[in-house]
Amino acid sequence: MNHALPSLPEVHVLVVGDIMLDRYVHGRVERISVEAPVPVVQVDGTEDRLGGAANVALNVVSLGASCTLVGAVGDDAEGTLVADMLAAQGIEADLLVVRGWQTTMKERVVSMPKQIARVDFEEPLPDAAAIDVAKRVARQAPGKDALIIEDYDKGAVSRPQRILAAAADVPTIVDPKFKEFAEYRGAAILKPNGRELQRALGRWPGESELLELGPALARDSGVGAIALTLGGGGLTLFEANGRSVHLPALNIDVYDSTGAGDTVAAALGVCMARGWPSSASARVANVAGALVCAKAGTAAVTLAELNAALRDNLATAPAATNRRQLVAALKRARRQGHRIVFTNGCFDILHAGHVAYLNEARQLGDWLIVAINDDDSVGRLKGGGRPVNQLEHRMRVLEGLAAVDWVVPFSEDTPEALLAEIRPDVLVKGGDYAPEEVVGADLVRRHGGEVRVLCKVEGHSTTRLVDRIGSLRRR
């Protein structure tokens, strides 16, 4: 699979949440005050950066997608500055300006080069303003490919269900604070850190117990998955279906972890908007979160930085996609005008003929789906002793091919049921088939698609390879 994230300005992510201004006061400490045992900072300058939900939006556009930000600012100089900074970054902003309310600002004093103090300027957002924010989400949600809710408990997300209901058809990633996880019911991914998970559970369990509790917590909370960020410990994904995977952190020198959660949330949102499953999205987000920790202060990861790291860390390979995830992803892909190519097979022993055929198939559209028979259906089709390789291993090999965008297993003898759900633009087969002999050809044509039979690469056959291996073992 081609794991690099292309620049996709047609992919549009909606971000909503608590907007902040992060101000950095840079200076030198040369003495201790005679008034109190505190350092005296000789200020050299100040720097303003987007924080909170605004930093998530900044990371989204830095990763090559388009972004609309919904939230609230005060009718003050800081609110005006935030709006100007968003516009300068190409972020579409739907901001509620609240009269008499102060824009949230965090002022950090930095010296050689560590933070030595932080001063927060904030007050709770009135509930009437939070209702207005949810209404703006409802207006902005149609046509968006993903929603990220950035909840810092400042009031914009005081009642998460108002926002989730306003964007019910959009895959949603939530960066929570200390609310009950069930308040985010309906989200595709909930992204807590260790403190937030510990508060939700009431304690911190042991590693083996956590692997059992995580999926159960996701199910009980009504979310598709929980992506637990662990700082230097990496990221663990707990899926409501019972699967868990731990992703170790990249081996980098951590400079500053400020805003790393924002970057993880943004990467999850961009990947989900592109149609990747939660497991694939989490792997990419884990890399992005590590990269931003090598930067000073609130920062963003660029698409070029992320793709370079993904190329160097092949363990980020996305997992196979299930049918529900695939159908939802294709709905978004078609809305973006993409052409879908479909092929299927057992792919028991991948050989050069398969690779040439899949590369040719990929040239017929924007996305190539490979549907693969599960182990039982291979046995029924090929007879005893097959498959040689188990389904999980066959999928992993296919996922490693740059031509393949999605891999989805099926248990039936033919892919007709899957074709009825997917409705590809092009159905492809290789070998000696005539177009009318391809299973599902009539179904695809009825939906306006086309059927293509590609050239067979002579001298390559899985059955011949199996027979040759058997004869070598008998010698």
Beta strands in 215-286 (DSSP E): 225-229, 235-239, 244-247
CA distance 466 to 150: 53
Residue 212 CA to chain centroid, in angstroms? 23
Long-range contacts of 225-228 (CB under 8 A, 24+ apart): 225/188, 225/189, 225/190, 225/278, 225/282, 226/181, 226/189, 226/190, 226/191, 226/192, 226/197, 227/189, 227/190, 227/191, 227/264, 227/268, 227/278, 227/282, 227/285, 228/191, 228/192, 228/193, 228/194, 228/197
- Residue 90 DSSP code: T
Give the type of residue at 229: T
* Dihedral angle, C-alpha 310, 9, 325, 267, nearest 10 °: 40
* H/E segment holding residue 198: helix 194-201
Give the amino acid at 19: I
Q: Let me know if 262 is a catalytic residue.
A: yes
Tokens of 11: 């992919």
Sequence-separated (6 or more) residues with CB below 8 Å from residue 137: 14, 16, 70, 147, 163, 166, 167
| Residue of 76, 175, 262, 375 marked catalytic | 262
A 10 A CB-CB count for 191 gives 28
Contact 185, 221 (CB under 8 A): yes
Catalytic positions, please? 262
